[in-house]
Amino acid sequence: MSASQAEAVAAKAIIELRGVSKTFDKGTESIAVLEKLDLAIEEGAFESLMGPSGSGKTTLLNLIAGLDRPSQGSVIVTGKDLTSLNDAALARFRSRNMGYVFQAYNLLPVLTAAENVELPLLLTRLSRSERRRRAQTALRVVGLEDRMSHYPRQLSGGQEQRVAIARAIVHDPKIIVADEPTGDLDRASADAILTLLEKLNKDLHKTIVMVTHDPLAAERATVARRLDKGRLT
């Protein structure tokens, strides 16, 4: 790629990492997880990220989502350098721009599907009725409007992941990051979740970055990348 082409890609990027390194201290030893990584993801992309365990995939996802900070380099998302934001500003940024989908769903068992989806909205000034309306809309998008009053124990694994996706989109974020969203699901449920992510990407224009070990899942993305030993290959 020429310098002019690289500049054009960066200009359209909603996510850009420049010279990002991340190390963790383990006792007296420093472990390098990411090394001088450059990455540009265009707005509206659906990208998958594969690699062996310990290659830094989840670390990279957490940096993009503003859940962690790099040891070196810049993480620029929607034009903001996340490394320049304090913790309070970073939390506000995440609440407006980021939706996170976890492999383990992370639903609270004592809350209904609707109440779990509402959780991110509790930090806003929305009224209770408006929060419930938005939760219902998000559940409708994922095809679970008829399960609003069900508890997680009353749902299948695929349905629980749909609730988790509804929670991730209830505040209408620009970006969805998904960490192994199909890892605990059977093939049919996994395919249904991937179809839902494709719908969110194509119909609602969400930018999606998905970590996966599943080659079939990676193929559903429009761009597939591989991370190995802290470097994109």
In a domain, residue 7? The reply is: no
pLDDT tens-digit map of 14-41 = 999 999 999 988 878 888 899 999 999 9
Q: What is the value of pTM for the model shown?
A: 0.89
pLDDT tens-digit map of 37-90 = 999 999 999 999 999 888 899 999 999 999 999 999 999 999 999 999 999 999
In a domain, residue 125? The reply is: yes
Residue 11: the pLDDT is 53
CATH code for position 116: 3.40.50.300
Confidence of residue 1 (pLDDT cuts 50, 70, 90): very low
Question: Is residue 115's pLDDT more than 70?
Answer: yes
Angle at CA 116, nearest 5°, toward 112 and 184? Answer: 95
In a domain, residue 199? The reply is: yes
pLDDT tens-digit map of 178-230 = 999 998 899 999 999 999 999 999 999 999 999 999 999 999 999 999 998 88
In a domain, residue 201? The reply is: yes
pLDDT tens-digit map of 116-170 = 999 999 888 899 999 999 999 999 999 999 999 999 999 999 999 999 999 999 9
Question: Is residue 8's pLDDT more than 70?
Answer: no
Q: In the 3-class helix/strand/coil scheme, how is the chain assigned residue by residue?
A: CCHHHHHHHHHHEEEEEEEEEEEEEECCEEEEEEEEEEEEEECCCEEEEECCCCCCHHHHHHHHCCCCCCCEEEEEECCEEHHHCCHHHHHHHHHHHEEEECCCCCCCCCCCHHHHHHHHHHHCCCCHHHHHHHHHHHHHHCCCHHHCCCCHHHCCHHHHHHHHHHHHHCCCCCEEEEECCCCCCCHHHHHHHHHHHHHHHHCCCCEEEEECCCHHHHHHCCEEEEEECCEEC
Question: Is residue 10's pLDDT more than 80?
Answer: no
In a domain, residue 210? The reply is: yes
In a domain, residue 25? The reply is: no
Backbone torsion region of residue 177, taken as left when φ is above 0, otherwise alpha when ψ lies between -120 and 50, otherwise beta:
beta
In a domain, residue 100? The reply is: yes
For residue 185, what are the domain limits?
44-70+94-232
Number of domains forming the structure of the chain: 1
In a domain, residue 228? The reply is: yes
Residue 107: the pLDDT is 96
Neighbours of 10 (CB within 10 A): 14
